[in-house]
Structure 1
Amino acid sequence: MTPDRWIVTIAGIGLVAFIIWFFWLKRSTGARATETSGGYQEAMILVKGGYTPDTIVVRSGRPVRLNFRREETASCSDKVIFPDFQKSADLPTGETVAVELMPKEPGEFGFSCPMGMFRGRLVVE
């Protein structure tokens, strides 16, 4: 192989490794949900090219309210699914939609768009 082919091959492998890390392996520390006077643990999640923040940390045994605000028109982001809680919600553009959950045990629970392109985690301590 010529040197230019080696460079292109190595760059391609590096790019594939970066994409795998960015979309499937990257872990953020997360944002802790705030306690409200109503007893809920609450967090605001912006839906724009993904979920921001994509990791929410809560305590078990207390109700959780996740407020999703969608600021884009991509069809994949029009719904959020919580398979471990058997819940889902439609997310109209420009509106805030609350999803209420009751995590009874510690663990990590994923949520995503219907196609799985946008992913998030609910970390229950």
Structure 2
Amino acid sequence: MTLDEIFVLIGGILLIALVAWYFWFSSSEGAHAQSGTGGLQEALIKVKGGYSPNIVVVEAGKPVKLNFLREETAACSEQVVFPDFGKQATLTPHKTIPVEFTPEQPGEYEFQCAMGMLRGKLIVE
């Protein structure tokens, strides 16, 4: 092997490792919902290539209001779906859209875009 081929091989291996780390090993971002008046738990989730934060922690039996701010116009982020709660919302670009419900049972519940490419998790304690 020539020196050029060795550099290309090492570069390819490093690139593969970087992609694998990004998709499988990078840390998840999470936040606790803020409690407001009447026990309402509220959080702002920004939508731009993903959900930020992508993990929201709330308390069971108290109403939740998740405010989604869509900061992009990509087709995938047009809707957010909460299959376990039977909720979904159409997200208008550059506007905050609330999704309200009351989780009764503790557990981990997924939310996602309509295509399933953007994913987040609601942790109910």
Which has the higher Rg, Structure 1 or Structure 2?
2
- Spell out structure 1 runs of 4+ moving beyond 3 A: 1-27
Report what 2:42 is aligned to. Answer: 42
Distance of aligned partners of 1:46 and 1:29 in 2 relative to their CA distance in 1, 3 Å threshold: closer
CA distance in 2, matches of 1:114, 1:16: 29
Report what 1:120 is aligned to. Answer: 120
CA distance in 2, matches of 1:100, 1:20: 35
CA distance in 1, matches of 2:8, 2:101: 48
In the alignment, is residue 91 of structure 1 matched against residue 68 of structure 2? no
Amino acid at match of 1:75: A
- Deviation of the 1:100 alpha carbon: 0.8
- Deviation of the 1:27 alpha carbon: 4.5
CA distance in 1, matches of 2:11, 2:114: 32
Q: SS of the counterpart of 1:38?
A: helix
CA distance in 2, matches of 1:38, 1:31: 20
Distance of aligned partners of 1:99 and 1:76 in 2 relative to their CA distance in 1, 3 Å threshold: same
Name the count of aligned residue pairs. 125
In the alignment, is residue 65 of structure 1 matched against residue 36 of structure 2? no
CA distance in 2, matches of 1:52, 1:60: 22
Alpha-carbon RMSD: 2.1
Report what 1:103 is aligned to. Answer: 103
In the alignment, structure 1 segments of 5+ residues that lack a partner are none
- Can you list the C-alpha shifts for 1:3-59, whole angstroms capped at 9, x where unaligned? 766665565455445444533554525101000113210000111121111111111
- Deviation of the 1:96 alpha carbon: 0.8
- Can you list the C-alpha shifts for 1:54-79, whole angstroms capped at 9, x where unaligned? 11111111111100011111010010
CA distance in 2, matches of 1:107, 1:27: 20
% identical equivalent positions: 54
User: TM-score with structure 1 length normalisation?
Assistant: 0.83
